[in-house]
Structure 1
Amino acid sequence: MSISTAFHPSLSIDGAIPDVVVVSADGVHFYAHRHRLLAVSANGMGNLLPPPGAVNTIPPLLTLHAPHSADVVNVMLHTMYGLSCAHYLPTLETVEAAVDSLSLLYGVSVPPLAVPGMPLFQLIYSFAPFRPLDAYAIAAHHELHDLAVMISSHLLAYDLSQLPDAAAQKMGPVYLKRLFVLHQSRVAALRGILFKAPETHLPVAGCDQDNQQMLVRAWALAVAQLVWDVLPSVSTSALKALLEPIGATITCPLCVASLQRRVTEVLYEWSAVKVSISPTVCRPRTHR
C-alpha cells in the first residue's frame, strides 16, 4: 500500500489524528482530518463526508475514493490545509486540475485560499515567468484577482492577436478585456510621451531656430519609426538605445543637452506607466 509522505497516519493537526483516508485513483493513501476538510468544503467533499451530526454512524477511519491521480490529490489537500506543496514540483496542469476539482466537485471556495501570502498564490505565480498566459487564464477563470494582476505584467510581450480561443474562453470576457486594455493603454501612453519633442533654446551663434529644427525633425522621424511597431513591453534601456543616437549628428551643445534632458524625461515617464491590469475590480451595478 502506497502512503503519502505528507499526509500519513501519524499526522497530528489541531491535536487530532487522521480520521479520513483519501485513496487516489492510482492507489496512494492520504490520511486527513474530517474537521479540516469540512471547514473549507461547502458540500461535505462532494457529499462523500457525513455531516457533523452523524458522528455516531461513521467508522473511526472513513475511506474516500477520489477519481484523481495522487499528484492532484496531493495539491488539493495541501491547498485545503494551507500548506505549500511547491517542493513536489507539480506541473501547472496538475495544479489546474486540483483547483478545478476543489471548486467544481468539492465545494471549496478557491479565492480565500489563493490570496497573497498563501501557498496556492505562490504556487500558481511561480509559473508566471515561463507560462504566463496559462497561469493568467487559471487565475482569471477562478477570479483570483490579486494573482491575475501580478501575472499580467508577464504578458506585456505576448502578441494578443495570437491568443488561442481556449485561453480566451477560460479567462472570460472581463479579464480578457482588461488584458487588451493594459496593452492598448501602455502603447497609447508611450506614444503620448514620445510625441513631445526636445525643447528648443534661444538662438545663439552657430545655432539659430532653423538649425534647431534639425533636432526636432530627427526626433519626429525616430519617434514615427518607433511608435509604428512599439510593444507594450519595451524597456527603458531599449528606449534609451533608440533615442540617444538622435544626437549623433547634432553639434550644438545646447541642443545635445536638451535631447539628453528629454530622453531622461521619457525614461522616467515610461517607467511610471502601470505594468499590470488594474488592481481594483469593477463590480457590476445592481438594479433595484
Structure 2
Amino acid sequence: MPDIKLISSDGVVFFVDQQTLLNLSTNSFNSLLPITSTHETERLIHLPQIHSSELNILLHVLYKLDCVQYNPSLPSILYSIDLFPQFGLSPKVLIRPQTPIYKILLSQASFYPLEVYCLCGKHDIYELATPVSSRLLSLTLSTLTDKDAERMGSVYLARLFKLHRTRVETLLRSLMPAPCLHNPTNKCGFEKQKALASAWTMTTAYLSWSAKPDVSTSTIRAIFNAMTTHITCPDCLKGRDERLNQIIVNWSITKNTI
C-alpha cells in the first residue's frame, strides 16, 4: 500500500510504499527513510538529483515491473542504474535474468553493446555481461577510450581482452596440422601433394595475420577454398574438405563469451 511520495526534480510525484524501499536498500534509501510521521505533508521526499524519467525507471526496477511501454532511452536507463548505489541499491542483485530490466538491457545491447557492457563492468553484473560480451567480438579493442576502460573497470576490461585473444589463439591452433597425405596415385604422388601442404601453410599464415575473434565459419571456408583453387586432385580436395570441416565444427563450438 503506498504510504509515501517521492518527488522528482521536475515535480512529478510517485506514490510508493517505503517498506519495499527499505527492504532493498542497505542505507535506508540514502538515509531518507523511514518516515514515521502520520502527517500527509511530511510523508514526502524531494529527490532534486533525479528527473522523473530516471526515477520512473528506478522504481520500475525495484518493483520488478516492465517500463518498456515508456520507451526509455538507454542514457536514461544507464543514469538511473548508476544512481542505485547512492540509495543503497545493488544493480547486481536487482538486474537478474528473470527481471524486465535485464531483458531491456539485453535488447539494447544489440545496438549499444559497449555501453551496456561498461555498465555491467562498473556494477559487476556478470550475468548480463556474459551474453553482451558476445556482441563485442567485432569491436576493435584499440578503439576503446580511457573513459570506456575506466567505466567498465580493470576486471571486465581484462576479461574482454582475454576473450578476444583466446578466440584467435584457439582458431590458429585448430588450423594445424595440414590435411594428411593420401595414398599416392598415378596422377598425384607424394611430390604433387606438397601443393596442398604449401597452400595450407600459406592460408594459415594469412589467417594468423588477419584473423579476428568474430571471423565467420563461411569466411574461413571461403579463404581456404580460394587459396586452394589450383588443387585438382579429388583425393587432395577430399582431404582438404574433411580437415576444413573439423576446423569449422571446432570454431562453431568455441566459447564466444567472457
Give the alignment's TM-score, normalised by structure 1: 0.85
Partner of 1:255: 236
Say if 2:27 is the partner of 1:43: yes
Q: Which has the higher contact order (CA 8 A, sep 6+)?
A: 2
Percent identity over paired residues? 36
**How much does 1:248 deviate?**
2.0
Please point out which of 21, 28, 39 is paired with 1:59: 39
- After superposition, the C-alpha distances for 1:8-42 in whole angstroms (9 at most, x for unaligned) are xxxxxxxx2x2111111111111111111111112
- When the two chains are superposed, the root-mean-square deviation of aligned CA atoms in Å is 1.4
The one-letter amino acid of 1:229's match is S
Runs of 5+ consecutive residues of structure 1 not aligned to the other structure: 1-15, 278-288
Partner of 1:26: 10
Instruction: Tell me how far apart the structure 1 counterparts of residues 138 and 153 of structure 2 sit (CA, whole Å).
Output: 20
Please point out which of 136, 151, 166 is paired with 2:117: 136
Instruction: Tell me how far apart the structure 2 counterparts of residues 215 and 168 of structure 1 sit (CA, whole Å).
Output: 44
Query: 2:22–2:34: 8 Å Cα contact kept in structure 1?
Result: no
- After superposition, the C-alpha distances for 1:65-124 in whole angstroms (9 at most, x for unaligned) are 112111100100001111111222212211111111111x21112211111111221122
Say if 2:151 is the partner of 1:170: yes
Instruction: Tell me how far apart the structure 2 counterparts of residues 257 and 87 of structure 1 sit (CA, whole Å).
Output: 56
The one-letter amino acid of 2:27's match is N
Instruction: Tell me how far apart the structure 2 counterparts of residues 134 and 86 of structure 1 sit (CA, whole Å).
Output: 18
Instruction: Tell me how far apart the structure 2 counterparts of residues 179 and 130 of structure 1 sit (CA, whole Å).
Output: 18
Instruction: Tell me how far apart the structure 1 counterparts of residues 93 and 212 of structure 2 sit (CA, whole Å).
Output: 35
Please point out which of 169, 178, 185 is paired with 1:188: 169
Say if 2:83 is the partner of 1:97: no
Moved beyond 3 Å, runs of 4+? none
Runs of 5+ consecutive residues of structure 2 not aligned to the other structure: none
The one-letter amino acid of 2:79's match is A
- After superposition, the C-alpha distances for 1:200-238 in whole angstroms (9 at most, x for unaligned) are 111111110010010111111122112201110101111
Query: 1:116–1:146: 8 Å Cα contact kept in structure 2?
Result: yes
